[in-house]
Structure 1
Amino acid sequence: MSDSITHVPSEYRSTWILDTLRRTDYARLERSGETYVDFMGGALYPESLIKVHTDFLSRSVMGNTHSVSNSSKLSLKCADEARAAVLSFFKAPPEYTVVFTANATGALKLVGESFPFTGGSSYVLGTDSHNSIHGIREYATYKGARVCYIQSTPNGGFDLSSAKVNNIILRNRPRSRELAPSLFALTGQSNISNSKNPLSIIEYAAELGYSTLLDAAALAPTSAFSLKEHPVDAMAISFYKMFGFPTGVGALVVKKSFLAQLKRPWFSGGTVDVVQVPGTLVTRAHEMHEQFEAKLQPNGDMLPNSFIEYSASKQYISLRTGCMCNPGAAAAMLGIQGDMEKLYPGVTLRDFENIVGRELGVVRISFGLASNFQDVWKVVRFAALIANERSRQELWDRWMESKAAQASIGRAI
């Protein structure tokens, strides 16, 4: 298989606008030879955005917004403009406002720690959710609320036409919105299965008396969304996943009436090692060396994620492996829901993998605005290398040699 493309199909020539954008704003991809296919993890920033922002910072003096100095007034003006731009982009009615956070996780945590759960409350969510959505169950459980899961289909997300799905939402509806506030959390687009849940369920849950929370971290960068059409109580977004820059900025787009109900006094993606879904067990994250004995041979049914990631890096391909901080959907896709029931307090990821007998997770390849046909071709070529027994064995041998070398260095230290 050739490294270069000798003929580009005619239908791809219609993407000349994106090709021009690739040459101007993302030329560093060609210079580095890197094929970036992890847009679900974080977008690549356009170079023009960096230049404009750098120019703005170089000629502006920004101060703390909680003051009346000229620099503070400028910061406040910019923040207000940004807030208005976010509301306009999502077509938000006047009853919405924006709370800027460090990221989407910070926005979800704000809701979780502040929501007025009680002993009669319910927290309803799907198993195909990010850990930041699962983490809210800690606040709900601590305050005595019920946690109810909607099971994921093998392809991710859930089937709205299923009577069981509707029954879970209906059976756990709040008996009193004032005395037992309940929360329904919807993942707009899965970060692991790419499935999109039906947004119409937001209105259904609201009619039953739930407060509604939408995780739009993956949805917002890929789809047009209108808060006028889908008036969710609160929506979490990440600007890093939308634009790639700046990092450390997300937002909670929220109804002012809902914000007034919150009483601010979790666990999330990067703070846990194992999350049982459905279930209650959580092992907090701790530093551990990812050294595994290879249990599957190259000609077996499954290949270790670490082998795939190693081999991809040698081809200068940046992809993602693992459970994507979404243990519920990963368990459904890998067919290990039953193994979730075997977990015990304090279990680590390595312990869990020993129970199952292999490394856990999937391989995620996600394309974005800066992707072109060459990127797709390179990924297809890499898949062909893995599929070919001879080339796969060569990659396997190199991987095993690298593991042996790392182990030798470890013993020497």
Structure 2
Amino acid sequence: METNMEEIRALEYPQLLGKTYLDHAGTTPWAKSLVDSFATDMMTDLYGNPHSEHAPSKLADTRVEATREKALGFFNADPAEWDLVFVANATAAIKLVHDCFRDHAIEKRQNWWYGYHKDAHTSVVGVREGTRTHRCFRNDREVELWIESRGLGGANANDLALFAYPGQSNMTGRRLPLAWPGRIQDRIRSKVYTLLDAAALVSTTQLDLSNTSTAPDFVALSFYKIFGFPNLGALLVKKSSSQVLMNRKFFGGGTVEMTPIGRSMVPRR
């Protein structure tokens, strides 16, 4: 059966009637059926704070976990191999990685080396401000030479090292090699964690994280770039790499069991 795109546009995107929208890279327009479904759910079910212990809170907690599992499935990410942290957007996901690496380096008394690609979004570039040493790779060839040389011109053997790059350039729309994380893992002698900023890429492309041996350690993305709604993002974390995120100093809200007065130890959830 042939799909009539004009009918779909009129039915699902009435807000576009008589308008031309040219900022799909920023965010995609939301579909009417998505907003209607959300509104019906909000008016039908009663949700509470997921960290409380009453029926509405338990319903919210159940829905959050179900959504987390469904989101992992959307990227072919096995829940046994991956965690998903809901955040405000891709920038918040990248900042979370920054904060965790900074605090881990302090805790372990390591130098933190950071490499990033020239085509990176400002959020990825901004991570360099929290590092001691950093390098901007000016093009793909510089990245390839770094990988093939087994890390020359990069981190020292004892450094905490992170390489970040975009799956797709916000400026040009060019897509960068998704094979880099696997090759970095195979070729570079010392451990280098990899962060993929997938925000622009996943707006039009299916991201497949089923092969953990070639996947990045961390993936930052914004759901509103895919669906238009809601205003949420996520940080996908490979469980085998999650230990580097465990020394973050900041705590609050549902991330802790309690906050004892006068004691430095705070039980984390």
The two structures have a TM-score, normalised by structure 2, of: 0.81
Q: Distance in 1 between matches of 2:32 and 2:148?
A: 49
Q: Distance in 2 between matches of 1:74 and 1:61?
A: 8
Q: Distance in 2 between matches of 1:204 and 1:174?
A: 16
Contact between 1:173 and 1:210, CA under 8 Å: does it hold in 2? no
1:20 counterpart letter in structure 2: E
Contact between 2:218 and 2:235, CA under 8 Å: does it hold in 1? yes
Q: Distance in 2 between matches of 1:40 and 1:131?
A: 15
Contact between 1:235 and 1:253, CA under 8 Å: does it hold in 2? yes
Superposed CA deviations along residues 313-351 of structure 1, whole A, max 9, x for unmatched, are: xxxxxxxxxxxxxxxxxxxxxxxxxxxxxxxxxxxxxxx
Task: Select 2:165's aligned residue among 186, 190, 193.
Answer: 186
Task: Select 2:121's aligned residue among 130, 146, 154.
Answer: 130
Q: Distance in 1 between matches of 2:227 and 2:23?
A: 13
Contact between 1:98 and 1:254, CA under 8 Å: does it hold in 2? yes
Cα separation, partners in 2 of 1:101 and 1:122, compared to 1, 3 Å: same
Task: Select 1:220's aligned residue among 202, 208, 215.
Answer: 202
Q: Which runs of 5+ in 1 are unaligned?
A: 1-13, 153-157, 266-413
Cα separation, partners in 2 of 1:113 and 1:169, compared to 1, 3 Å: farther
Q: In structure 2, what is the equivalent of residue 237 of structure 1?
A: 221
Q: In structure 1, what is the equivalent of residue 89 of structure 2?
A: 103
User: Which protein shows a greater Rg?
Assistant: 1
2:113 counterpart letter in structure 1: S
1:9-408 mapped onto 2 (5 Å cutoff): 16-30=3-17, 33-93=18-78, 94-115=80-101, 116-117=104-105, 120-140=111-131, 144=132, 146-152=133-139, 158-159=140-141, 163=145, 166=147, 170-176=151-157, 179-207=158-186, 208=188, 209-229=191-211, 230-247=214-231, 249-262=232-245, 263-265=247-249
Identity of aligned residues (%): 33
2:122 counterpart letter in structure 1: N
Cα separation, partners in 2 of 1:160 and 1:198, compared to 1, 3 Å: farther
Contact between 1:122 and 1:172, CA under 8 Å: does it hold in 2? no
Q: Distance in 2 between matches of 1:110 and 1:53?
A: 28
Superposed CA deviations along residues 252-309 of structure 1, whole A, max 9, x for unmatched, are: 01022322212223xxxxxxxxxxxxxxxxxxxxxxxxxxxxxxxxxxxxxxxxxxxx
Contact between 1:160 and 1:198, CA under 8 Å: does it hold in 2? no
Q: Distance in 1 between matches of 2:148 and 2:136?
A: 11
Q: Distance in 2 between matches of 1:147 and 1:161?
A: 14
Q: Distance in 2 between matches of 1:62 and 1:121?
A: 42
Q: Distance in 2 between matches of 1:197 and 1:220?
A: 13
Contact between 1:183 and 1:211, CA under 8 Å: does it hold in 2? yes
Q: Distance in 2 between matches of 1:46 and 1:68?
A: 34
1:128 counterpart letter in structure 2: D
Contact between 2:194 and 2:216, CA under 8 Å: does it hold in 1? yes
Cα separation, partners in 2 of 1:44 and 1:169, compared to 1, 3 Å: farther
Q: Which runs of 5+ in 2 are unaligned?
A: 250-269
Please give the secondary structure, in 1, of the residue aligned with 2:3.
helix
Cα separation, partners in 2 of 1:26 and 1:130, compared to 1, 3 Å: same
Report the alpha carbon displacement of residue 47 of structure 1 after superposing the two structures with TM: 0.4
2:36 counterpart letter in structure 1: K
Cα separation, partners in 2 of 1:255 and 1:166, compared to 1, 3 Å: closer
Contact between 2:110 and 2:160, CA under 8 Å: does it hold in 1? no
Please give the secondary structure, in 2, of the residue aligned with 1:16.
coil
Q: Distance in 1 between matches of 2:220 and 2:4?
A: 30
Report the alpha carbon displacement of residue 18 of structure 1 after superposing the two structures with TM: 3.2
1:190 counterpart letter in structure 2: S
